[in-house]
Structure 1
Amino acid sequence: MKIFGIVGKSGSGKTTLLEVLIPAITKHGFNVSTIKHTHHQFDIDQPGKDSYRQREAGAKEVMLASSHRWALLHELRGDEEPEIEDLIQHMSDVDLVLIEGFKFNNHPKIEVHRPSYGREPLWPDDPTILAVASDEQLRDIDRPLIDLKDIEGIADFIISHLDLRREP
């Protein structure tokens, strides 16, 4: 599976971009999955539910399944945070996995950068950031700059860079 990242400082619009980028890529016939990295502790389970009680009892993994979806909850229980490559092995085979976050990993990325937010960009110090999507013109940029509203342009950049092709 090919992977491509969307990175940027908190609040820059990474998730909003992914919401419109996914359909822009899938309309070309590609299957897309996502991985979202978070620095916060999170729980998609609810206290009192059977699955929550099973995890609290010490289960390393609990799978929730219904006729609409399934989810595998995996407790690290002190293990190191897994690398992207390890996480992807648990996913179904698709054409493209878009990764939100994991900004310090060594995979190709586009940075979402909004100068009006007053935060320093990531791209000057990261050669894995191949392009920048911004809502303003940037000076002294040494890589492609794509208008943040040009969703087709961003999709085309990713598809072209990864040389994604539909199998006949």
Structure 2
Amino acid sequence: MKVFGLTGWSGSGKTTLMVRLIPSLVARGITVSTMKHAHKGFDIDHPGKDSHSHRMAGATEVLVGSPRRWALMHELRDEEEPGVEALIARMTPVDLLLIEGFKRHDHRKLEVWRAAVGKPLIAPEEPSIVAVASDGPVPGTALPVLPLDDVEAVADFVMRECGLTGRG
């Protein structure tokens, strides 16, 4: 399974690019899964649901299955947050795992950067960033710069970088 990431500051457009990139890759015959880092706590379960009651009662893992999807929730309780490798190991293998976030992990990644966000470029301090996607000029980098609005160019780059060839 190839692993490639999108990273950048909040508000830069990572998620927008991700949801545009996935269908482009899938149309090329690539199976794609995603992993997203959330800095704050999050919940996909809600009070009043049986699965929520199971977790609140102390279950370490709760799996919810249906004819359309299944989800596994694992409570960390007092455990440390697992690292990227441990999370990847839990994923079903596909052609490409796209990771959003995890700025400082060493997987290859594309930085999404917009001057209007007002944050510095991460790439000069993060050697795992191999290119930048932006809506304008990107000062201070010798890395390839891709137009943020050209999803096909970004998909081409990701496929080359990961050594993938489409089947579709």
TM-score relative to the length of structure 2: 0.96
- May I ask how many residue pairs the two structures share in their alignment? 168
Percent identical pairs in the alignment equals 51
Counterparts of 1:117 and 1:10 in 2: how far apart (Å)?
A: 8
Alignment pair present for 1:142 and 2:167: no
Question: In the alignment, what sits opposite 1:121?
Answer: 121
User: Partner residue of 2:106?
Assistant: 106
* Whole-angstrom CA distance in 1 between matches of 2:120 and 2:130: 17
CA deviations 1:7-50 (Å, max 9, x no partner) are 00011110000010001111110000000001011111011211
Residue equivalent to 1:8: 8
Q: Secondary structure at the match of 1:152?
A: helix
- Please list, as runs of the form range in 1=range in 2, the aligned pairs for 1:41-52 lying within 5 A after superposition: 41-52=41-52
- 2 CA distance for matches of 1:46 and 1:15? 24
Deviation at 1:137, TM superposition (A): 1.1
Q: Distance in 1 between matches of 2:113 and 2:91?
A: 29
Deviation at 1:78, TM superposition (A): 1.1
The runs of 5 or more residues in structure 2 that have no matched partner are none
CA distance in 1, matches of 2:136, 2:128: 21
CA distance in 1, matches of 2:139, 2:166: 37
Output the TM-score relative to the length of structure 1. Answer: 0.96
Q: Which residue of 1 aligns with 2:32?
A: 32
| Alpha-carbon distance, 1:166 to partner | 4.9
* Aligned-partner SS, 1:161: helix
* 2:138 counterpart SS class: coil
Structure 1 unaligned spans of 5+: none
In structure 2, the partner of 1:20 is: 20
Deviations 1:85-105 (A, max 9, x none): 111222211000000000110
